[in-house]
Amino acid sequence: MIPREFDYEAPTSLQETLQLIASGERKLLAGGMSLIPMMKLRLATPDSLVDLGRVPGLNHIVESSGTLQIGATATHHDIETFPLIRGRCPLLAEAASHIGDVQVRNRGTIGGSIAHADPAADYPAALLALEAQIRLVSASSDRIVPAVEFFLDAFTTALEPGEIVVEVLVPAEPGAEGYSYEKAPHPASGFAIVGVAARIQRSGGKISLARIGVTGLGARAFRAMEAERLLESGSSLDQAVATVGEGEDANSDLYASAEYRKHLARVRAKRALEVALRRAS
């Protein structure tokens, strides 16, 4: 199909961008990997597109005081391959490597992906496990929201009207930390039927910290907090992963039932934790 007619605007500063989106039915265009197909299907019908491609200062990847600052227009390929991320936050790089295909990773951006908040996207699981934060800016505000409070529902985030994602803030991982992202991809779309990100820290032979993010299972990504608590209290892997998905309203479709998704989430959680434990040791 063909999109309805729209205006095209290409601001050259963040302030100009924020002024443009403060009013009217405008959509931000970064990589366009989700927005353009939705416009072709007329599921999105913006009056105007605001292209972020000429806005400086949005595609940086730097470390400051133990925190990685990742600009919103950094591409999936940037995040997968950038030495600083691979060395200081390898879980995020691993999750990025599972997104789509080469073409999608070359064009798609982290800011666009998390703002879109597809319930089967890969980044949310990793960002939750990493206890990341999202910096949101508007013409009148500048605030930081924890990832656990950012993803609210399917295609719904904490973004307020007039706000844009500017940065993703991720704590740099200690060298002895174990990590893994395990994904069961849909064979047609490549999105996660279920994806599980795990972080493990060990002390004295025991698990001192466990973080588990899950995507694809329900309407939004979530932390498997009961499984984390059990691992930190000395329970076995099997006991912990058996709680993953408890209390969650699992998605069900022609490809995978809710029951199967929960089973798959527990299988992938165990695999992710086993790999993370090996890497932590």
| Structure confidence by residue, pLDDT tens digits, 204-238 | 889 999 999 999 999 999 999 999 999 999 999 99
Tell me: do 191 and 258 sit in the same domain. yes
Tell me: do 160 and 95 sit in the same domain. yes
Tell me: do 150 and 133 sit in the same domain. yes
- Is 145 among the domain residues? yes
pLDDT of residue 139: 93
Domain carrying residue 50: 7-54
Tell me: do 160 and 183 sit in the same domain. no
Q: pTM here?
A: 0.95
pLDDT of residue 176: 83
CB 79 within 8 A of CB 60: no
Residues of the chain falling short of pLDDT 70: none
- Is 1 among the domain residues? no
| First-to-last C-alpha distance (Å) of the chain | 53
Three-state SS for 110? helix
Tell me: do 46 and 67 sit in the same domain. no
Nearest to 200 by CA among 190, 213, 211, 191: 211
- Is 126 among the domain residues? yes
Tell me: do 167 and 65 sit in the same domain. yes
Question: H-type helices in 54-159, by residue range?
Answer: 76-81, 83-88, 90-97, 102-107, 110-116, 123-129, 147-150
What domain count does the chain have? 3
pLDDT of residue 281: 75
Structure tokens at 239: 């006991």
Write down which residue in 133, 152, 171 finishes a domain: 171
